[in-house]
Amino acid sequence: MFYLFTKSILIEIGFKDQCYYIGNAKFEFLPESVLSNCYSSANWNRALKYKATADEINKKYFMLDVDIFWNLNFQKIELISKIFFFDEIINSKHFKETFLDTLFSHYFKHTLKLEKTKSIDKTFIEEYAPDIFKDNLRIKEFDNFLILNEEINIANKKFKSVSELNQNSFKWRVNKFNQIIYSFPESILPKNTLIENSDFVDLNNSLFYINSQSSLNKNLTLEFCISNEKIKNEILEKMILEIQKADDSLSNWHIFNLTKDLKYLKNELVKIKNSSNSVDSYLKDVYSKLKRNYDKELENLHTNS
């Protein structure tokens, strides 16, 4: 069982002729703990209600927290509450056919979604053990992210540099906001289901983000965050090789931007000191081309030497 989320709903309880009505079911008795904790309230008019189908009944409401799980073995959605009495009700055919879509739609009504349904199954869940990460498409800080899905728009994201896949070899450019955009060929990507399903990767923290419709229900959105340093490092090694193959004069600076490893700046300074160029004039030229100032990083390099 894979936990997805918890949603609070109002269970409408109908009272008529000494009987009780919930959904399409009729009960002669209800637990005293339920009866003593159900209320009438005008403040709940806009809350999500599972309504009784019976006509001409007096109504009260019971607030119920419902935990939604993905049963990986049987490939179905299961619902569990902390009150045993309600478990049969919320897993009934009537509840699932008439209310489950509404529950999902209500929970995800403000969620940004990508339309594609990805290949996320039991094997994937067990191999990568994803964490739920709500609203991952609203992440604003995209510094040193690798974009894998071309639907992801970086125009409103904050970053110093970001990488994308749309060239046959390594390229880079600086946009009007002085942000560096690196481009790499798709050959940098290893062949595995994590890469196939991910939309973007935080290279600083080895986090892979996924947004997908569920194959079980089109109204259920799967939002995952997966930590995997091994696969991130595989990608980073390929990115470094592509930069080195490009024979770019600023390659050490580019690799430092991706790795944050000071050894690449150290390599650059050694190279400069062994040339006839003035260090100060060279650094001024680098800063001008990359639209970034590395004084703080270079100071850390001297401090740690």
Residue 231 has pLDDT above 80, yes or no: yes
Task: Measure the CA angle with vertex 222, ends 220 and 223; round to 5°.
Answer: 135
Least confident of 3-12, 98-107, 134-143, 275-284: 275-284
- For the chain, what percent of residues have pLDDT higher than 90? 82
- For the chain, what percent of residues have pLDDT higher than 70? 97
pLDDT value of position 76: 94
Residues 6+ apart with CB under 8 A from 143: 158, 159, 160, 161, 162, 204
Kindly indicate the confidence band of residue 40, based on its pLDDT and cuts at 50, 70 and 90. confident
Q: Calculate the alpha carbon distances from 297 to 96, 162, 256, 257 in Å.
A: 57, 19, 10, 11
Residue 297 has pLDDT above 90, yes or no: no
pLDDT tens-digit series, residues 78-90: 999 999 999 999 9
pLDDT value of position 273: 76
Residues 6+ apart with CB under 8 A from 122: 72, 73, 75
pLDDT value of position 282: 87
Phi-psi region of 226 (alpha: psi -120 to 50; beta: other; left: phi over 0): beta
Q: Across the chain, what does the average pLDDT equal?
A: 93
